[in-house]
Amino acid sequence: MLDNLEGTRQDTEQVALGPVSKVTCGSGVLKLKHRFSELEGSSKQSGKRGMSEEHFRQLMDHTRARSRRFLLEVDLMLNGSSTSDATYYAQIGVGHPVQFLNAIVDTGSDILWFKCKLCQGCSSKKNVIVCSSIIMQGPITLYDPELSITASPATCSDPLCSEGGSCRGNNNSCAYDISYEDTSSSTGIYFRDVVHLGHKASLNTTMFLGCATSISGLWPVDGIMGFGRSKVSVPNQLAAQAGSYNIFYHCLSGEKEGGGILVLGKNDEFPEMVYTPMLANDIVYNVKLVSLSVNSKALPIEASEFEYNATVGNGGTIIDSGTSSATFPSKALALFVKAVSKFTTAIPTAPLESSGSPCFISISDRNSVEVDFPNVTLKFDGGATMELTAHNYLEAVVSRKLSESTHFQGVRLVCISWSVGNSTILGDAILKDKVVVYDMEKSRIGWVKQDLSHGSDRFTPVGSKYKIGIDNVLSYITIQMLRDHVSTADSDIPGYSWYVLYALVF
């Protein structure tokens, strides 16, 4: 059924995973790409000079949009996400014969659903990705359960119906109705159908998935692949049916390198990994942040600033790789900026007009901003600490005004990428160059330093030499990300193409 992908599997490079005594069938390794890294003006495209001011603003806007999404979930307890902030896309096979569909991979959503052939008006809505003020359009594929001999409507008696749906009408069908932060919505009915995870017919799983009968708003691809915490999410469904360890973890290299790896399934402990308890929450991955230190000096911030408080709209401290950078409550961020300004040897300068971010002038011939700026420590419940360098909170930015001034030649501008938010959200900028583990079996989140710089695909905990080779591959998923050959309604936009990302499922 998926034999046409066999050649791709054989050509995939070896991925180093660290210490493994055995790998459970159903676990997997997904090679990821950063949504923004290939865009014009990114750090990856600009090299050592830094990202453009417009690109920096785009990342800050993305971070703030994600923050508003989590604020809405605190207020209304919605199991959805904003559609315009999607980052990663997975192509999976559904049904028999197989239908290939592209879906957002989102830790802030729970339900696996697709635009459906039964949908009123879906065929007239092209897939879009909102990028700043530009709307890029791409191809659309609709899931058709009538073409699949393995598809069957889910009934009200289905065990998962009470978790992510409700009964509708007199036909005993299980339905869903989701509203999103940007006023988009998806309404439909659930089906049970085979989801193909590999090139062999034996490697597939019958899953509970939504078939949209009505949608509103802009949708990046064909559906959403929820990696949230409820029983209907993809990781929880796979763990329940395949009997694998309920865990997934990632290692991200950030916007500048533009890559990363996501792993699902059982694996042994990583050396030197530290853990903090995962707080009870059916929607997001909450942890308890205790303190924030700059240059080993704890800032005078009350721990309550980082804690969940629905009354004031504070969602607590959230781990979210889909957020570009990070957000902190206004008081905490102000104290942080003040401390960085005190300990840096760089010269504070006016904030960027486009984003309002605090900035500094640094000597351009320095090899690293780490020389000029202090380290930062995040301390969590249970005593676990996360050590950060300047690369986790600063971005080099090519300023138009600075570039035009001959007085400032030979210097560069670096700006704080963290922004104000009601919740504390630890995003990609903080999580990069670390293995971050989401262990649902033991209700904990862990991390350990891991360098994925210089475009490396190797995924090995520091000090480890264990590897898993291509001979162990049983199946895989293909992930894609829309970048090229898409257009606005008025004009073509060059420079965007499909990312093809391969997931090795062991």
Active site residues: 106, 320
Distance of CA 444 to CAs 90, 95, 231, 248, 286, Å?
26, 34, 17, 11, 10
Q: Using only the alpha carbons of the chain, give its radius of gyration.
A: 23
CA distance 401 to 408: 10
**Terminal CA-CA length for the chain:** 19
Q: How far apart are CA 358 and CA 401, in angstroms?
A: 15
Distance CA 404, CA 407 (A): 9
For the chain, what is the total number of helices (H) and then of strands (E)?
9, 37
101: nearest Cα among 83, 116, 79: 116
- Read off the tokens for 196: 């193909």
| E-state strands within 170-325 | 173-179, 185-196, 204-216, 223-226, 247-252, 259-264, 274-277, 286-287, 289-294, 297-298, 308-309, 314-315, 317-319
User: If we measure between CA atoms, which residue out of 370, 365, 334 comes closest to residue 351?
Assistant: 334
Give the ranges where 122-271 is alpha helix by DSSP (H): 161-164, 234-242, 254-257
Please, are residues 436 and 249 in contact by the beta-carbon 8 Å criterion? yes
Sheet holding 492-493, edge to edge: 127-131, 134-138, 486-487, 492-493
Q: Distance between CA 310 and CA 197 in Å, rounded? A: 39
Taking a C-beta distance cutoff of 8 angstroms, is the pair 382, 400 a contact? Answer: no
Q: What value, to the nearest 5°, has the Cα angle with vertex 306 and ends 304 and 308?
A: 80
Q: How many CB atoms lie within 10 A of CB 256?
A: 21
